[in-house]
Amino acid sequence: MSLMTTLSYALPHRLLSSLARRLAYSSNPRVSRWLIDTVTAKFGVNLAEAANPDPRSYPTFNQFFTRALKPGARVADADPRTLVMPADGRISQLGQIEDGRIFQAKGQSFTAAELLGDAKDAEVFHHGLFATVYLSPKDYHRVHMPWTGTLRETVHVPGRLFSVGPAAVNKVPGLFARNERLVCHFDTDFGPMVSVMVGALLVSGVETVWGGEEIPAYGDTITRKDYRGKGITLERFAEMARFNYGSTVIVLLPPGVAEFAPHLDAEHAVQLGQALATLK
């Protein structure tokens, strides 16, 4: 285990993430410009794709980081039977949920029940499919719908805020089921679908299009919000939520409804709108 990964166990995760939030939302031009310039240079951010390509025009780092893309920068796969990739980034892992367990990395896995915070919620995904997409700091940070769905419930599951970078994913047991996360349950025409917004170290917030800021405030108990009957339906490829810094989204599908696009595998670079899976 690397020194940084070892040290991360002792770090005050929420304090560091709260400090990162203060910097991200600061309207001090010196602070925002320094952060924007640093991230743009270090990670090679492609501003040509942004709806607003002028880095000096963003009043805060957070507004820069959650920037919109210009029209046409991403399009949904033309086959109407495909579930689309929910975000830019790269595939961390994808595959079948085997005996209720989700593969994280060599020697590491966790259960769907642990990820969702509820064993009953996980039952319908037994032997289903999962796809874990990592968003690096250079990526577009809005998460979209793989398929049209009506929001049924969200579950805010408290936890740690470990880094979700490759080193931590390879070494921290059950990482995605330990970090604070927002589980979003949708009903679709093929059955239930879940998108899990996983928090991470220095991620200063998760926001949804229907409820605004969901994380923080950081929680200590599981919090459920029932949206049944509210009529919140989001179309395939529509924006669902956003990260206020890089993190990970995990999509769960029930068994027997779809097959992953054959070219996808771990470490595969992906873009929003590309084919994730095809309905059977």
Catalytic positions are: 88, 144, 247
Q: Alpha helix (H) ranges present in the chain?
A: 3-8, 13-24, 29-43, 61-65, 112-116, 119-123, 166-171
Classify 122 as helix, strand or coil.
Answer: helix
DSSP E strand stretches across the chain:
82-84, 89-96, 101-105, 108-111, 129-134, 142-144, 149-157, 181-188, 191-198, 206-208, 212-215, 223-226, 233-234, 239-243, 248-253, 258-260, 269-270, 275-279
